């Protein structure tokens, strides 16, 4: 099969593309078939004329087998030559096809050769037996016996007719008289004749016995005898008749050389003997004709066996070609696809080759190509991002030698809460005050002395109502050195700000969790026996001891132990928060439930809830968020205690900026009874949801807690 040209990069590679000249090839096959049929007809007609036989079927089959043999030999030779040429040209897959074809041919040769040998022996023995000389001799002898029987019967009929004529002459009987009629009747009975009678020279019958049978027999015999010739040349004539299941020999003897008339005598010789003798004659003639075709017939059978054997070999070779094509076509396609992938075309795909191992191999190749293409896409995207980052680095905050700000990128605007158009051209000292201004001056001096140095510091900046910590890296921009001093000519500075606020918070939370876990472990074990011992002392010695300080001390121990146990429980909850169980759900019902609970418990506060009905469902841990909202609302309720017309969205106490920054740190609390772990647990739960919680300043006064939860 010829390969199609390589498809474009977007089209899949076909495993078995149809030949572009398929239509022309089929047309040639039809023409060859018509020529073969015409050759069969012409050869059959020529052989009929030359051999002089009428066996159209035999000669047609002979010529058909001969043509088929030529076609099979041509196809086998063509496939073999094609295979040899492909192997010499080192066509991909030709060696595999050669091995498979040769394997199938060798596997089929042994049984085919054995079958051909046995069948050829059988054909030779059978044909020789059919055309033995003994068969022909037997048929000729049978025919001679039949002929001798008829000759004997004819001679007997003639002899009896002459005896009747002799008796008529001896008795001087008159032809046509009554005595003549009686004598003929007696002769019929005496000799056992079927019919007897006299025919006058004019052709009239007389003295016939039996009359009806004689009329019928003579009517048939007269049609086979030339009476005019018999009158001119009177002699004995006999004919054989088959009538009413009987074979009759009818003899005609002239009387007085035909002048007086003719004596007709008929004798029955049995039933069907004449028909059987005719069958023997026709069979012998047909046998002699067929014997002329003995060798062509034998050759036809040999050719038939040869054609069948070669067809089996051809079928085996064709199956080998077919199987090799099914195996090598995917290999060729994968080789072409691999070559295209090596050239950089990763969009190549192979058509599915089925459900077998080759199909699995093709699907694996396609998956590999898809993975390579996806990897290339990721690399291109990463390269594009790196380019953008490089451009972003080029645009990062930069100042010139006089300290004026020359470039500010979008990230710096967002983190520092500034607008580029408002600060470009200003000096950095005018933008920042206090500690950072002094540190910036220090950086300028240090980099001016050592241009290759890098200045790195952590600074705290109050931004957008919250405290933020930044890691600042400052490097110098220099176009060269100034002559003898070796110092930088100072073309500017690049300052890179990295917000590490959340990172430090996470580090502090992790440290506090570890501390809480250790404290809870060390304190929890002795608390229970202390509490049990104090309670036992109160039960045993309390009623008998009249000193009131004993009971007060015991109860104080129990209360403090319980408070410590509560503190340990808070430590444990903070150190070992359970893994969140995320389930898809609606946050509105949970908020309504929590707010409803607080509205019932704190009727002196105006509880309002405005949940957006368009809020979509998203995965969250219901129990964890319940703790978050319970803790936040508890803080709100406690903050509003003792105030009239309180509402959850109005804070009774103002939280300073530095307090809001420490709001979520462990053990920070402004309440006397607080443990400082509530909001820390809130932050941990929200962080487990990959969200964020923060406190912001509410205008004109108060504080606002913001909980952000991702929807996906």
> Same structural domain for residues 443 and 489?
yes
> Same structural domain for residues 407 and 433?
yes
Question: Mapped to the 3 state alphabet, what secondary structure does 624-675 carry?
Answer: HHHHHHHHHHHHHHHHCCCCCCEECCCCCCCCCHHHHHCCCCCCCCCCCCCC
| Domain-ending residue, one of 265, 285, 305 | 285
Contact 83, 104 (CB under 8 A): no
Residue 456 lies in a domain: yes
Question: What is the model's pLDDT at position 681?
Answer: 74
pLDDT at residue 653 tops 60 = no
pLDDT at residue 18 tops 50 = no
Domain CATH number, residue 184: 3.30.450
Residue 137 lies in a domain: no
Residue 146 lies in a domain: no
Residue 144 lies in a domain: no
| Domain-ending residue, one of 454, 479, 498 | 498
254: containing domain = 152-285
Residue 139 lies in a domain: no
- Give residue-wise pLDDT tens across range 59-97: 666 666 667 667 767 777 777 788 788 778 877 667 777
> Same structural domain for residues 365 and 437?
no
**Rounded Cα distance, 365 and 353, in Å:** 12
Q: What's the mean pLDDT in 236-242? A: 80
Q: What's the mean pLDDT in 642-651? A: 62
Share above pLDDT 90 across residues of the chain, in percent, rounded to a whole number: 0
Question: What is the model's pLDDT at position 10?
Answer: 41
> Same structural domain for residues 201 and 276?
yes
Q: What's the mean pLDDT in 371-387? A: 85
> Same structural domain for residues 402 and 389?
no
pLDDT at residue 673 tops 70 = no
> Same structural domain for residues 174 and 206?
yes
SS3 498: strand
> Same structural domain for residues 273 and 390?
no
Q: What's the mean pLDDT in 336-345? A: 82
What is the helix, strand, coil percentage profile of the chain, to 5?
Answer: 60, 15, 25
Domain CATH number, residue 443: 3.30.450.20
Structure tokens at 285: 């003639």
Question: Residue 696: beta bridge partners?
Answer: 704
> Same structural domain for residues 424 and 483?
yes
- Give residue-wise pLDDT tens across range 102-115: 888 888 888 888 88
Contact 350, 112 (CB under 8 A): no
Higher pLDDT, 209 or 421: 209
> Same structural domain for residues 98 and 159?
no
Domain CATH number, residue 632: 3.30.565.10
Residue 478 lies in a domain: yes
Host H or E run for residue 708: strand 703-708
| Domain-ending residue, one of 376, 394, 412 | 394
> Same structural domain for residues 80 and 172?
no
Higher pLDDT, 400 or 551: 551
Question: What is the model's pLDDT at position 652?
Answer: 28
**Which spans in 343-419 are helix H?**
357-394, 410-416
- Give residue-wise pLDDT tens across range 119-152: 888 877 777 666 666 666 666 777 777 777 777 7
Residue 21 lies in a domain: yes
Bond from prior residue into 636 cis (ω within 30 degrees of 0): no
Contact 605, 646 (CB under 8 A): yes
Domains contained in the chain, number: 5
Closest CA to 660 of 696, 614, 707, 607: 696
Q: What's the mean pLDDT in 547-558? A: 76
Contacts of residue 664, defined as CB under 8 A and 6 or more positions apart, other chains included, come to 505, 679, 680, 682, 683, 693, 695
Contact 337, 348 (CB under 8 A): yes
> Same structural domain for residues 369 and 427?
no
Answer whether 0.85 is exceeded by the pTM: no
- Give residue-wise pLDDT tens across range 401-434: 556 676 776 666 666 667 666 666 666 655 555 5
The DSSP string of 116-130 is: HHHHHHHHHHHHHHH
**Rounded Cα distance, 131 and 435, in Å:** 130
pLDDT at residue 479 tops 70 = no
Question: What is the model's pLDDT at position 688?
Answer: 78
> Same structural domain for residues 105 and 1?
yes
Q: Are strands 195-199 and 205-209 parallel, antiparallel or unpaired?
A: antiparallel
**Rounded Cα distance, 37 and 30, in Å:** 11
Residue 667 lies in a domain: yes
Rounded to the nearest integer, the mean pLDDT of the chain is 72
Question: What is the model's pLDDT at position 658?
Answer: 56
Helix axes 294-342, 273-291, angle to 10 degrees: 50
């Amino acid at each position: 099969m010829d390969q199609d040209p390589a498809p474009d990069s977007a089209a899949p590679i076909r495993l078995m593309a149809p030949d572009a000249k398929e239509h022309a090839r089929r047309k040639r096959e039809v023409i060859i078939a018509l020529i073969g049929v015409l050759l069969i007809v012409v050869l059959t007609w020529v052989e009929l004329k030359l051999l002089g036989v009428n066996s159209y079927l035999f000669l047609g089959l002979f010529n058909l087998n001969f043509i088929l043999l030529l076609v099979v030999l041509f196809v086998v030779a063509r496939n073999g030559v094609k295979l040899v040429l492909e192997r010499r040209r080192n066509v991909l897959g030709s060696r595999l096809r050669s091995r498979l074809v040769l394997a199938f041919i060798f596997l089929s040769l042994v049984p085919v050769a054995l079958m051909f040998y046995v069948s050829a022996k059988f054909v030779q023995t059978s044909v020789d037996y059919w055309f033995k000389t003994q068969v022909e001799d037997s048929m000729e002898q049978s025919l001679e016996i039949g002929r001798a029987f008829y000759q004997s019967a004819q001679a007997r009929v003639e002899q009896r007719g002459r005896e009747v004529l002799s008796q008529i002459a001896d008795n001087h009987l008159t032809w046509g008289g009554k005595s003549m009629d009686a004598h003929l009747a007696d002769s019929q009975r005496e000799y056992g004749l079927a019919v007897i009678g006299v025919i006058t020279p004019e052709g009239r019958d007389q003295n016939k016995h039996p009359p009806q049978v004689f009329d019928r027999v003579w009517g048939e015999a007269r049609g086979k005898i030339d009476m005019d010739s018999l009158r001119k040349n009177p002699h004995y004539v006999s004919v054989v008749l088959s009538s009413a299941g009987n074979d009759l020999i009818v003899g005609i003897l002239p009387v007085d050389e035909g002048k007086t008339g003719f004596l007709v005598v008929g004798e029955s010789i049995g039933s069907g003997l004449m028909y059987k003798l005719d069958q023997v004659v026709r069979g012998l003639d047909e046998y002699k004709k067929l014997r002329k075709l003995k060798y062509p017939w034998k050759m036809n059978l040999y050719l038939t066996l040869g054609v069948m054997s070669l067809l089996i070999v051809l079928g085996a070779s064709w199956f080998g070609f077919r199987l090799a094509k099914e195996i090598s076509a995917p290999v060729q396609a994968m080789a072409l696809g691999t070559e295209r992938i090596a050239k950089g075309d990763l969009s190549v795909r192979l058509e599915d080759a089925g459900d077998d191992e080759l199909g699995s191999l093709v699907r694996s190749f396609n998956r590999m190509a898809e993975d390579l293409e996806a990897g290339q896409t990721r690399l291109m995207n990463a390269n594009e991002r790196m380019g953008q980052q490089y451009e972003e680095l080029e645009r990062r905050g930069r100042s010139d030698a006089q300290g004026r700000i020359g470039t500010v990128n979008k990230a710096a605007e967002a983190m520092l809460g500034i607008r580029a158009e408002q600060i470009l051209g200003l000096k950095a000292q005018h933008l920042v005050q206090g500690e950072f201004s002094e540190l910036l001056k220090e950086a300028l001096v240090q980099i001016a002395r050592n241009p290759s140095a890098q200045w790195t510091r952590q600074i705290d900046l109050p931004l957008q109502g919250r405290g933020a910590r930044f890691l600042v890296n400052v490097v110098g921009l220099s176009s060269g050195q100034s002559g003898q001093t070796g110092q930088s000519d100072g073309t500017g500075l690049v300052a890179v700000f990295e917000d590490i606020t959340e990172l430090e918070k996470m580090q502090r939370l992790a440290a506090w969790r570890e501390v809480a876990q250790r404290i809870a472990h060390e304190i929890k074990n002795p608390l229970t026996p202390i509490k049990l011992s104090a309670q036992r002392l109160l039960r045993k010695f309390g009623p008998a001891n009249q000193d009131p300080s004993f009971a007060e001390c015991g109860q104080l121990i129990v209360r403090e132990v319980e408070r410590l146990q509560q503190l340990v429980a808070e430590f444990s909850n903070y150190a070992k928060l359970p893994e969140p169980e995320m389930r898809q759900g609606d946050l509105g019902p949970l908020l309504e439930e929590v707010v409803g609970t607080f509205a019932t418990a704190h009727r002196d506060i105006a509880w309002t809830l405005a949940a957006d009905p368009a809020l979509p469902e998203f995965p969250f841990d219901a129990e964890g968020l319940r703790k978050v909202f319970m803790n936040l609302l508890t803080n709100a309720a406690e903050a509003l205690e003792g105030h009239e017309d309180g509402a959850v969205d109005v804070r009774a106490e103002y939280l300073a900026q530095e307090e809001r920054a420490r709001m979520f740190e462990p053990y920070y609390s402004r309440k006397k009874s607080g443990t400082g772990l509530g909001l820390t647990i809130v932050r941990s739960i929200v962080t487990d949801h990959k969200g964020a919680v923060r406190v912001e300043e509410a205008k004109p006064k108060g504080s606002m807690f913001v909980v952000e939860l991702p929807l996906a």
